[in-house]
Structure 1
Amino acid sequence: MDGSTPQKPQKPKGSEDLWLSAAYEVLTESGVEAVKVMPLAKRLGLTRTGFYWHFKDRDALLEAMIQRWEDRNTGNLVARCEAYAETICEAMFNLFDCWLDNDLFDARLDLAIRNWARNDKALATRLDRADATRRAAIIAMYERFGFSGDQAEVRAGTVIYTQIGYISMQVSEGRDERIARMPAYIEVYTGKAPTDGEIARFLARHNM
Structure 2
Amino acid sequence: MLQSPNTRTRGSRQLWLDAALNLLATSGIDAVKIMPLAKSVGQTRTGFYWYFKDLSALHDAMIETWETRNTGQIQARCEAPAGTINQALFNLMDCWLSPELFDTRLDLAIRNWARNDPRLAARLHDADAARITAVRDMFLRYGYSPEQADVRSLTVIYTQIGYISLQVEENPAARLARVPHYVEMFSSRPPAPEEIAAFRGRHPVRPG
Task: Read off the aligned partner of 2:32 and give its amino acid letter.
Answer: V
Structure 2 counterpart of 1:45 = 42
- Kindly state the Cα deviation for residue 44 of structure 1 after the two structures are TM-superposed: 2.1
Structure 2 counterpart of 1:28 = 25
Structure 1 counterpart of 2:154 = 157
Which one of 118, 122, 133 corresponds to residue 121 of structure 1?
118
* Residue deviations 1:70-112 (CA, integer Å, cap 9, x gap): 0010111001001111111000000001001112111100011
Question: What does 1:51-66 correspond to in 2, within 5 Å?
Answer: 51-66=48-63
1:130 pairs with 2:127:
yes
Give the TM-score, by structure 2 length: 0.92
1:46 alignment partner, SS class? coil
Question: What does 1:37-186 correspond to in 2, within 5 Å?
Answer: 37-186=34-183
Task: Read off the aligned partner of 2:201 and give its amino acid letter.
Answer: A
1:190 pairs with 2:193:
no
Task: Read off the aligned partner of 1:160 and give its amino acid letter.
Answer: I
The structure number with the bigger radius of gyration is 1
Q: How has the CA–CA distance of structure 1 residues 10 and 139 changed in structure 2, closer, same or farther, with 3 Å as cutoff?
A: closer
Where does structure 1 differ by over 3 angstroms across 4 or more consecutive aligned residues?
none
- Kindly state the Cα deviation for residue 43 of structure 1 after the two structures are TM-superposed: 2.0
Q: How has the CA–CA distance of structure 1 residues 11 and 204 changed in structure 2, closer, same or farther, with 3 Å as cutoff?
A: closer
- Kindly state the Cα deviation for residue 10 of structure 1 after the two structures are TM-superposed: 10
CA distance in 2, matches of 1:157, 1:75: 18
- Kindly state the Cα deviation for residue 137 of structure 1 after the two structures are TM-superposed: 0.6
CA distance in 2, matches of 1:44, 1:86: 46
Structure 1 counterpart of 2:3 = none
Q: Give 5+ residue unaligned stretches, structure 2.
A: 1-5
- Kindly state the Cα deviation for residue 151 of structure 1 after the two structures are TM-superposed: 0.7
RMSD: 1.5
- Kindly state the Cα deviation for residue 45 of structure 1 after the two structures are TM-superposed: 2.0
2:144 alignment partner, SS class? coil
Q: Give 5+ residue unaligned stretches, structure 1.
A: 1-8
CA distance in 2, matches of 1:42, 1:140: 45
Give the TM-score, by structure 1 length: 0.92
